[in-house]
Amino acid sequence: MLRDYIHLHFLVLIWGFTAILGLLITIPAVEVVFYRTLIAAITIGVWIFIIKKRTSQPNYKSIIKILLTGLIIAGHWILFFWSAKVSNASVCLAGLSTTTLWTSFIEPMIFKRKIKFYEVLLGLVIISGLYVIFRFEFNHQLGLIMGIGSALLAALFSVINGKFAKKHDPYHITFYEMLGACIGTALFLPFYMSYFSENGQLQLGLDWNDFSYLLILSLVCTVYAFSASVELLKRITVFMSNLTINLEPVYGIILALLFFGEKEKMGSGFYLGTSIIVIAILSYPLLNRVFRKKRSEVSAIK
């Protein structure tokens, strides 16, 4: 378990770098997601064909479900990169930190267990942190709202992947989800061109820098990190996974300050609100241990 948690923190550090890559890549968010998922799907497809071709495939119904989950992932990444581009990496990552809040509601619904009141309490504390950020960073509201929407979708597909991971090979899951995300993004492009793109045109042209950053984003942050995170869900809970993943804003904001300097510096209200969110996240293991001990004591008395 210790090795799994260390591995998970390493993956979170990698994901903390994704918002920075999104800003370094000059093309818009939707085009970034299209290329990211296309490269990832092709790479994993080749990997499965060459290395893991003997691994049993999911059945037809499972493939459809995994492909549809890819649509959720596409929406999550589009909102994530869009949030960073309309505000900055720090605001985007602050919105993403609400993933724990959404998971505390979604996971009990899908796994049909009772909602733990202390998870909801932590969710309310996270909301208070968001209120502080909204109050002091009014000019970044759109970016923060997109980040929160991205977090909602992240919580949803993480819980779904928690069920898939019990039954299917993580590379097959990642392949079909990336394929579904790529197809979903491609189908969204005509609507995006009509209502959101500049001058009704797609920006698919890549210079060498964009292509290099996209390769890092696709191969390291997606193929490796995404597949490894799905594999870890076989041994750790979705809530604990998302709790650790919520340290992504901490790593990401530090990295953003190192890469972009003054551009990423925010007011004191932003850091106060973000600190409230992070403290709520880090207090979960302690609360979970306390209430688990109390439940054990009550069971022993009965």
Identify the band that residue 68 occupies on the pLDDT scale cut at 50, 70 and 90. very high
Percentage of the chain beyond pLDDT 70 is 90
Identify the band that residue 116 occupies on the pLDDT scale cut at 50, 70 and 90. confident
Q: What is the pLDDT of residue 138?
A: 62
Q: At what angle do helices 238-245 and 225-232 cross, to 10 degrees?
A: 140
Q: Is the pLDDT of residue 39 over 90?
A: yes
pTM: 0.81
Alpha-carbon distance of 256 to 270, in angstroms, equals: 15
Q: Is the model more confident about 186 or about 295?
A: 186
Instruction: Give per-residue pLDDT as tens, 141-198.
Output: 888 899 999 999 998 998 898 888 888 888 888 899 999 999 999 999 988 888 777 7
CA-to-CA dists, residue 192 to 30, 38, 219, 233, 251, angstroms: 8, 18, 26, 34, 31
